[in-house]
Amino acid sequence: MRLLASVSGLALTGVAALTLTMTIPAAAEESLTVVSWGGAYQESQREAYMTPFAKETGTKITEEEYNGEIAKIRAMVEAGNVTWDAVDVDTQTALAACAEGILETIDYAKIGVDRSKIIGGDIFDCAVPSILYSTIFAYDTDKLNPGPTTINDLFDTQKFPGKRALQKGPFINLEWALIADGVPAADLYKVLNTPEGVDRAFAKLDTIKKDVVWWDAGAQTPQLLADGEVIMGSTWNGRIFNAVKKEGKHFQIVWDAQAPDYDLWAIPKGTPRLDLAYKFLAFSTRADNQANQTKYISYGPANTDASALIDPAVLADLPSAPANMKTALTVDAGFWADKGEELRERFNAWLAQ
């Protein structure tokens, strides 16, 4: 009995000592947490930004992934415990989060690039545009020949029976629904701004609802296309480019009604590693590094100086190529910053019904 008591007492003290040592913070090596969207896109950023930056400055970079949830940044800043130092955000988040005051206002002096040289640099106060990407839809030429050519084909289950992959959210899906329903591109947001317009978009989505597989992460659509789970699916153009170039798939992008948009780097407010985060943003905005990223993924650089440094072979795959821009939509980031939350709620309710 006494032996048992003494052994258990020793064990308890051992456990207590162990837990105490584990709470001592790690060695004071400079460390930065960079958050992006995962998959091929984050890989390209790793090659072009994170790894070279780590080598150049000796900083340890911890990467994390997310799917664009502004609520995560909000929760972090509100709790006062900001662990994310540099976050790759989309335009809605860049505007909405800035209005809420949860992102640092960017001091362009620390970025080292002239604000006027960055496409879209004057629109965003709390984020630095990094790349121009586009939401498109693609199909596998091995399985569909001839394949879809316009956005109406996405909604035409008679002509192309089978499953489609769409992003689990209203963003771009509502615009495409209205375009396929016959709304001219110029009136798109005027219609979408009205309750009848939103109802109309959801009604159009209802026509294909049972044929849709909903994706959260960019890597899902190329996987679903490869598995044959869907015959066509929406995603960001760089993910398809990666599947074609690196994995040898025969996917074809349909550029009709492509929705070009920016991705930006932002710093959540209150991060203790502010200077280091700025150094990373400055590194990532440099023209040579931005041009380097196009080698790994077909997204256009936001730094206009970088365009001259891009490999000409890559130019045709960028969303900004003239051939691809013919029927491109103009995404209204302000609309989504304002109405995004309620449309998302409506979409989630619609989805669960």
Partner 1 sequence: MTVAAVLTADGLPLKVKLRRVERARKIRATLLVLPLFLFIAVSFVAPIVVMLRNAVLDPKFSTIMPLTTEALEGWSGANLPDEAAFAALAADLKQAQTDKTTAFVGKRLNYDISGIRSKVIATGRKLEKLETGPYRDSLIAIDPIWGEVATWAAVERATHRVTSSYLLNAVDLEWNGAGDLVNTPVERAVYRAVFVRTMGIALSVTLITLVLGFPLAYLLAILPTRTANLLMILVLIPFWTSLLVRTTAWFVLLQDHGIVNDAIQFLHLSDHPLRLIFSRVGTIAAMTHIQLPFTLLPIYSVMKTISPSYVRAARSLGAGPYYAFWRIYFPQTVPGIAAGCLLTFILCLGYYITPALVGGPTDQMVSSLVALSINQENNWGKASALGAILLMATLVLYFVYNRLVGIEKMKLG
Which residues contact partner 1 (rule: CB under 8 A)?
Answer: 69-72, 74-75, 96, 99-101, 195, 199, 202, 213-214, 227-229, 338-339, 341-342, 344-346, 348-353
Of 147 and 162, the one with the shorter C-beta distance to partner 1 is 162
Give the DSSP per-residue string, 261-291.
Answer: EEEEEE-BTT-TTHHHHHHHHHHHHSHHHHH
Of 74 and 286, the one with the shorter C-beta distance to partner 1 is 74
| Shortest distance, position 184 Cβ to partner 1, whole Å | 24
Cβ–Cβ < 8 Å for 143, 231:
yes
Q: Which two tokens stand for residue 170?
A: 């209203």
Of 138 and 198, the one with the shorter C-beta distance to partner 1 is 198
Of 74 and 295, the one with the shorter C-beta distance to partner 1 is 74
- Cα dihedral 57, 62, 66, 70 sign: negative
Cis peptide bond prior to 146, omega within 30° of 0: yes
**Alpha helices for 101-236 (secondary structure H):** 108-111, 151-154, 173-180, 188-192, 195-206, 220-227
Residue type, 36: S
H helix or E strand, kind and range, residue 240:
helix 237-247
Closest CA to 293 of 151, 78, 133: 133
C-alpha 319/C-alpha 107 separation (Å) is: 29
| Shortest distance, position 201 Cβ to partner 1, whole Å | 12
Q: What are the b/e assignments for 68-81, b being 16+ CB within 10 Å?
A: bebebbbebbeeee
| Shortest distance, position 94 Cβ to partner 1, whole Å | 14
C-alpha 213/C-alpha 229 separation (Å) is: 9
| Shortest distance, position 137 Cβ to partner 1, whole Å | 19
Cβ–Cβ < 8 Å for 109, 147:
no
| Shortest distance, position 107 Cβ to partner 1, whole Å | 18
Of 26 and 349, the one with the shorter C-beta distance to partner 1 is 349
| Shortest distance, position 309 Cβ to partner 1, whole Å | 38
| Shortest distance, position 156 Cβ to partner 1, whole Å | 20
| Shortest distance, position 310 Cβ to partner 1, whole Å | 36
C-alpha 185/C-alpha 200 separation (Å) is: 15
Closest CA to 263 of 235, 300, 219: 300
Q: Which two tokens stand for residue 210?
A: 């049972």
Of 27 and 352, the one with the shorter C-beta distance to partner 1 is 352
Of 61 and 205, the one with the shorter C-beta distance to partner 1 is 205
Of 87 and 96, the one with the shorter C-beta distance to partner 1 is 96
C-alpha 88/C-alpha 36 separation (Å) is: 5
Of 52 and 162, the one with the shorter C-beta distance to partner 1 is 162
| Shortest distance, position 165 Cβ to partner 1, whole Å | 11
| Cα-to-chain-centroid distance, residue 165 | 17
C-alpha 181/C-alpha 184 separation (Å) is: 9
